[in-house]
Chains A and B, each alone.
Chain A
Amino acid sequence: MQPTFSSSRILLPVRPWFVYFSLFCALLLNFLPTAHWPGMPDWVALTLCFWSIRETRRVGMGSAFVLGLLMDVADGSILGQHCFAYVLLAYGAMALARRILWFPLLQQALHILPLLIATQAIQAVMRLAVGADWPGIGYFISPLIATLLWPLLTLALLLPQYQPVEQNPDRPI
């Protein structure tokens, strides 16, 4: 059976302020003290990935670079570590953008998983190569949890774009 574009509902165009607001919220979530819990997802990477797929022209490698720089400063890590990983993530998401939306949400999440794992792994390799400490296995669990959150995140971030369900017979679209 041919896969079909599972969301048959026609979405309203995205509001630009909502994109930036959600990215800001992701930053805030990353700054919360809960970020130290093992397996806590990297919210910025997840949200960035989402908008890079949905709004390829608005959010891309440029936004990824800026967000990465902010995360580096906030983390106290070496500048460029998050930038590099996020830029690659945004590129990977853009490359997937045409294909991934034809799948149901859980299969979309499976597409996202390697991207998020790669984002963490790149950062780990960069830091371990210059003599940092092994971060523990919890660091690599967080992409798995982020993947499980993908359907919920899709619902939450697309909510402002949904139209009312009732049909107007005069205007089929």
Chain B
Amino acid sequence: MITRWLVRRLARTVDDRLRIAPVVRRALVKVFPDHWSFMLGELALYSFVVLVLTGVFLTLFFEPSTAETTYTGAYEALDGSRTSAAYASTVRLSFDVRAGLLMRQTHHWSALLFVAAIVLHLLRIFFTGAFRKPREINWLIGVTMLALALFNGFTGYSIPDDLLSGTGLRILYSVTQSVPLVGEWLVFLAFGGEFPAAETVPRMFVAHVLLVPAVLTALIAAHLGILVRQKHSQFPGPGRTENNVVGSRFWPGYTARTLALFAWVFAVTFALGGLVQINPVWIYGPFDPAQASSPAQPDWYVAWGDGALRLLPAADFRVFGHLVPSPFLPGAVLGGVAFAGLYLWPFLERWRGGDGLSHQLLDPPRRHPARLGFGVAVLAFFVVLLVAAADDIIAKVLRVPVLDVLSILRVLALVLPVPAGVVGYLLARALLRGGGRGIGDVTRRDVRSVRRLATVGSRGDVEEESSTEGGPSTEQPRSTGAATGPAAGDGGPRIELWRERDGTWRWRYRADEVTLTGNQGYLSRPEAERAADTAYGNLPMLEVEPPGGRAAVVAGAVERAGRAAGRVGGSLALLVLAYRRRRRDRRR
């Protein structure tokens, strides 16, 4: 039990100086919801950690300069060739720095994972309405982090100054240049001159390794700080109300789980980084404005932009004799509109019929058919754009002319969102009516009944719904509790209070289907009562005997180890005592 002694000793030392025990205790017992979708944000967080760690390693070897140099090293195909320092150092750190390629590829893979996790997290937040009051600030921060992640991904794969990324950079330059009125100055200031300017790579490097990561770190801190302050939202369920959070306590269960996820992220990204080649710049060759690689696809998270550039037909137009070039609409406007929409969504939704109240219970996606339908439609649109970025590959694989692929995708981009959105909307309504748990439970009757699109109020025949839906079930404990009264010993929802042997007070919520224990011990009975009251309103409260036995099983293994250690320690102590007594005896 040396660890226990050490931990207690350390905790005491820290507490003597910071008086932090109450804060730490509250942090340790913080309740995290158990639903898997709450891990998506953590997935993003942990891939960010991988990014920072591998990125620091790469920074030590990368040379952010387009000055011409000669590569000499282990990669024979380029040995002795004149390239930019950025490109040469990238090849060098891939082939001549031991473990460099592993770090570089892991960095790239975790960047892909990072953005993917952010997007999935955003979709979860969107479809469940978690962005509603009071979480608008965290939504805004999250959308900002998505934009920064896209930007940093782009700068990251552009700085090696290879042919593929140079082409991407050229496209970004053209898009920036296409902005009306200010585009020319904007692009010259940002890139440091006419493409390709020597200033560009060093600037992107500073943004990539310093500015954006610093801002991201600050925003992550704010994101998590607000999360802790506001506590988690949760899906509706038995015993869950607008005034509580049901799940696992941070210590110890959730700690182990989240650390496991942390390690999984490392395991998967390092496995990919070691085994699956990504962005082989030595094959693409150094950048040259007179050359392009074909086919050329960007990383997936900017591919929607590239797809849009491919899909939109020639759309140059003139305003007062000035030219607005075609990249402006798909390149600048689409991205601008997308992010403006994301930023504004919580406020748009509140304006169009939201209730403006604080929500701690999430909507199951079906609860808001219009939101679901709209989200699915937008998603379908962007998926088509993403696919369009690979139109040349599709054409090659299917052996059809690329322009035909382009035409089909154009039609799809315009048409597909409509049926996708309608299906999403109708499915949500059908689920809402049928009350099934998932899409598999939708019956034909549900779908048919949706077509009548009757008023939402006519749900009399669907009694089952109330058990799976948020609103009714959360109301249930309060109403039934009040009806049966404090005398209701069994069945009705109630709060049970008890005094532990050490004098602390604890409580738990009990109903037919669920027993939920309050997350912490309280020093006095009123404190415990207040917490239970906050969580469940006026439920009958009764004092009970402390429920025992639960910890016995959990502690069994620990206990055995402890007893063993105790025996060893005890015999050691006896030995020491005996030894000292003998010495004392001898001195006498």
Is A bound to B?
no
